[in-house]
Structure 1
Amino acid sequence: MLPAQRRNQAYEDYIKKYRKIAVEEMERYHIPASITLAQGLLESGAGRSTLARKSNNHFGIKCGSRWEGRTVRHDDDARNECFRAYKHPRDSYEDHSKFLRTGARYAFLFRLKITDYKGWARGLKKAGYATDPRYADRLIDIIELYDLDKYDRKGGLKWAEEFPDPHQPYLANELLYIVARRGDTFESLSKEMGISKKKIRKYNELPKDYKFQGGEIVYLEKKRSRATKDHICYTVRPGDSMYSISQKFGVRLSRLYKMNNMKPESPAPKVGEILRLR
């Protein structure tokens, strides 16, 4: 670790404020907390940048074609560029995790060990996260100066030892989910994912006595009222049910019924029938 006297108090305060969120994101998305914190510090100037203060955007993530949330204009590589805006910094942290998790160019990073912050830093630069040629070195310097890798070890290693074969996280409709295995229970998933049993049941609209058979989509967040713009409608296939379709696209079952002028007691949709998803 580098000499403590070189540390910046604003950076220290930022780390104390957001380290818990960074560790939670690490456990859910398998991104090192040290990397998340270092990027947040660097991209937001320890929370003092205009984007962070006015739009709660701590990672400099631009709008992109799929973003449907609030936006703000800001000069960056070009003038008046479109950036994502959030209600709370926590939303920015979660969106950062999803941004990396769903980006094809970042997929190789998830093959690295969660403690390999140097590999992650260099990989982010290689994948083009930032144009700064010293981006990787700057991240590494921040991590080592503020001893951020301890957050990868402290909670991360204990969690990794307890769950040596963790469920792989995926995204549908910008929602985090895992695929259940035979033998999973609400209790075991709650312990691994850090989400209450009640929430897991509620998010997935399942009864208390449900037993996982393996292969089920299990959402770790509340499903949405509609699918993404990429999925306006869906043609029913053999084996489909309203529930399986709601799980596939991350849409609440009640909303799926309402959009299609159906009720829970209505006959099951026929193969070939077209259902609205938004």
Structure 2
Amino acid sequence: MAKRKRSRKKRNSGTRTLIWVLVVIAIFLGVYAGHHFYRIWNQQRIEQQMKKQDQEAKERFIKQVAPEAQAMQNTYHVYASITIAQAILESQWGTSKLASQYHNLFGIKGTGPNSKELSTKEYVNGKWVVTTGRFRVYDSWSDSIKDHTKLMLTGTDTNQQNYDAVVKATSYQEAAKALQEAGYATDPNYAQKLISVIKTYKLYNYDK
């Protein structure tokens, strides 16, 4: 009888050990799973915050440039949506060095003391290349928008009617295509990018 009791005790001890091992494994797996799901949740939370901040920054930029763009449209018939869309593309939402430090929203080139030499990308022979150019320096984004409108009205040094079709356009789509045809940018998809930005952010509402 005594031997049977010891055997029973051994079995009970082994069972308790196994239970404790399983409990420890379960706790470990629970902690691991909890940490894993927390990391996923936290990453999603961070991404949502960044997305919200990015959207708010874009909305602020549009609100900053829209009033002057509308004023130029009311006086000179250069679509506000086109002006805003160009500012977005050319300045990377106002974050480019040219826009943030020198208030040039449209990549307008210039010479003399009121200009700055900076690197830029141009589409040449079917590919993008990095080159340098001299760009105008302004005191404010408002001045940059005014000068952009002036460029549309007076054209380039070699062709004063270069942007006439942009000013005379009857829709922002027509104006976008006219800009590309006039060679404003070397990007072969420039017109379509402008139209896409206008549609995505409903910039056509500023034409009313």
TM-score bin, normalised by smaller chain: 0.5 to 0.7
TM-score (norm 2): 0.65
Structure 2 spans left out of the alignment, 5+ residues: 1-50, 123-129, 156-160
- Please give the alpha-carbon distance, in whole angstroms, between the structure 1 residues aligned to 2:61 and 2:138: 18
**What's 1:150 paired with?**
205
- Please give the alpha-carbon distance, in whole angstroms, between the structure 1 residues aligned to 2:113 and 2:147: 11
- Please give the alpha-carbon distance, in whole angstroms, between the structure 2 residues aligned to 1:87 and 1:41: 19
**What's 2:169 paired with?**
112
Kindly indicate whether residue 153 of structure 2 is the aligned counterpart of residue 101 of structure 1: yes
**What's 2:8 paired with?**
none
Q: For 2:196, which of 141, 144, 168 is the aligned residue?
A: 141
Deviations 1:172-231 (A, max 9, x none): xxxxxxxxxxxxxxxxxxxxxxxxxxxxxxxxxxxxxxxxxxxxxxxxxxxxxxxxxxxx
User: Percent sequence identity over matched residues?
Assistant: 38
- Please give the alpha-carbon distance, in whole angstroms, between the structure 2 residues aligned to 1:10 and 1:140: 21
- Please give the alpha-carbon distance, in whole angstroms, between the structure 2 residues aligned to 1:152 and 1:71: 31
The structure that has the greater radius of gyration is 2
Kindly indicate whether residue 136 of structure 2 is the aligned counterpart of residue 84 of structure 1: yes
**What's 1:122 paired with?**
177
- Please give the alpha-carbon distance, in whole angstroms, between the structure 2 residues aligned to 1:131 and 1:119: 18
Which residue identity is paired with 1:107? D
Q: 1:218-229 counterparts in 2 under 5 A? A: none
- Please give the alpha-carbon distance, in whole angstroms, between the structure 2 residues aligned to 1:110 and 1:45: 24
- Please give the alpha-carbon distance, in whole angstroms, between the structure 1 residues aligned to 2:96 and 2:56: 16
The structure carrying a bigger helix percent of its residues is 2
- Please give the alpha-carbon distance, in whole angstroms, between the structure 2 residues aligned to 1:82 and 1:17: 26
Kindly indicate whether residue 119 of structure 2 is the aligned counterpart of residue 75 of structure 1: yes
TM-score (norm 1): 0.49
| SS in structure 2 of the partner of residue 105 of structure 1 | coil
Which structure ranks higher in relative contact order (CA pairs < 8 Å, sequence separation ≥ 6)? 2
Q: 1:136 to 1:8 in 2, by over 3 A?
A: farther
Q: 1:202-241 counterparts in 2 under 5 A? A: none
The CA deviation at 1:46 is 0.7
Which residue identity is paired with 2:165? F
The CA deviation at 1:75 is 1.1
Kindly indicate whether residue 100 of structure 2 is the aligned counterpart of residue 53 of structure 1: yes
The CA deviation at 1:69 is 5.9
The CA deviation at 1:68 is 5.6
The CA deviation at 1:11 is 2.0
Q: 2:152–2:167: 8 Å Cα contact kept in structure 1?
A: no
Q: 1:69 to 1:152 in 2, by over 3 A?
A: farther
